[in-house]
Amino acid sequence: MSEIVLHLSAGQGPAECRWVVARLALVFEDEAARAGVRCTLLEAAEGNPASLLVSVTGEGAEAFAAARTGTILWTGASPFRPHHRRRNWFVGVSRVPPPEEFEGLRDEDVTYQAMRASGPGGQHVNKTDSAVRAIHRPTGLATVAQDQRSQHANRKLARLKLLVMLAEREQDSERAGRHAGWLRNRNLERGNAVRTYAGPNFEPRAVP
């Protein structure tokens, strides 16, 4: 059974967009269950994460992922600034390429370090040395994974997070100018939403 990994990202958006990322991951999980597909959060959807990874598996995984890849619009009042006039908040969902298809990440360039999980984390975080830090030596980029039950699973997650960082770095380098991060967020907002949700319960709405 093939696995599709989706990256939910707030881009350079404010806290509201990060809040949408966390809620959207849980919405995807519920939608997948109703569609007969399994959608598993690879990271704890707690607080206001700038991004999250989810795994989609099952017979209808391809169609499920395809229908959610792109810009997602949530319309509603800010949960942090109730008097804020803005009501449209955008996040991006992209498909993470399989590690074997991404030439910028070679096994020999990555160092893994076992470490003790820290912070509130998710429900699976424990006091053993199951957390893993992955370091990409050529760039110095590093990620930490601690939300999975085993060191092996956290190692896989840390590597996936490195892949996402390297892919974004590569995309940024292809954009001219020093405002690449800003441009990425502006492009996200201006993109046509593939799915729209509204209100605190994230009720789906027809795409305009």
Walk along the chain (208 residues) and give the pLDDT tens digit of each residue: 578 999 999 988 999 999 999 999 999 999 999 999 999 999 888 888 999 999 999 999 999 999 999 999 999 999 999 889 999 999 999 999 887 777 778 889 999 999 987 655 444 445 567 899 999 999 999 999 998 888 999 999 999 999 998 888 877 665 545 455 545 555 555 568 999 999 999 999 887 6
Q: Indicate the pTM of the whole model.
A: 0.82
Burial of 121 (C-beta count, 10 Å sphere; 0-12/13-18/19+): middle
Please check whether the domain covering 3-96+177-205 is classified as CATH 3.30.43.10.
Answer: no
* Strand-strand pairing, 38-41 and 203-205: unpaired
180-190 vs 151-174: helix axis angle to the nearest 10?
A: 90
Name the token pair of 60.
């209808």
Q: Residue 173 has what pLDDT?
A: 64
Nearby residues of 121 by Cβ (< 8 Å), 6 or more positions away: 44, 46, 146, 147
The Cα–Cα gap between 26 and 164 comes to 21
Name the token pair of 137.
């030596």
CB-CB contact of 168 with 180 (8 Å): no
Instruction: Tell me the residue length of the chain.
Output: 208
Match domain 101-174 to its CATH number in 3.20.20.70, 1.20.20.10, 3.40.47.40, 3.30.160.20: 3.30.160.20
Boundaries of CATH 3.30.160.20 in the chain?
Answer: 101-174
